[in-house]
Amino acid sequence: MPELASVIAMLGWKLSQDAIRRMRAAQFDIDVGTQYFDFVCEYLAFMLHAADRIAYRALAADQRIAFTTALALKLAEVVEDNRDMLPVEPEPDRCRRHFIDLANQRGGEYADFAYDEKEGPDFGFRRYFGSRLLEIVPEKDHAWVIDQIMEIEAPEAVKALERTLEGLFAPADEEHRPRRESHIGE
């Protein structure tokens, strides 16, 4: 499970950076420093809890616990490794602890929302994610940030997460043969 968690942690980091780029291109102000750090932590907490929901339907209970725990710890490590996004160097391990505390808090909050196998996170799940980012962006961006998160950022993240985890959670004995193109008349 730690290896799977490492793959998803790197995916989460990449997707968080892509989301920031898209949001900046859409004229949202996400400044380097505390705002950037808070955005990334909220984004990764959302990814953690979405991955846990996917793991719920694909893994046995003990495997799911091992995967989600490993993922939370790996994401905390990624956050700690990128603490240079903060304007002042924090004491060692502060960023890791911050992320773990945030992930635990969000776990209780996201637990109230559904995650459908076909539709992904429900309206409330995505809206709550957006509301957490509403507190991070400047007031001028408040009118549109929840829409951006619900309609663009969360679906993009979940699509990549679902696709990646589907491959990672596939049984080891399952054959992955490429499909042969058929031709008319065969």
Amino acid type, 59: L
Stretch 143-157: mean pLDDT, rounded? Answer: 91
Q: Is the pLDDT of residue 45 over 60?
A: yes
In this prediction the pTM is 0.86
Predicted confidence (pLDDT) per residue in 138-149, tens digit: 888 888 999 999
Among 16-20, 27-31, 175-179, the range scoring the smallest mean pLDDT is 175-179
Predicted confidence (pLDDT) per residue in 91-127, tens digit: 778 888 999 999 999 999 999 999 988 888 999 999 9
Among 112-116, 141-145, 156-160, 171-175, the range scoring the smallest mean pLDDT is 171-175
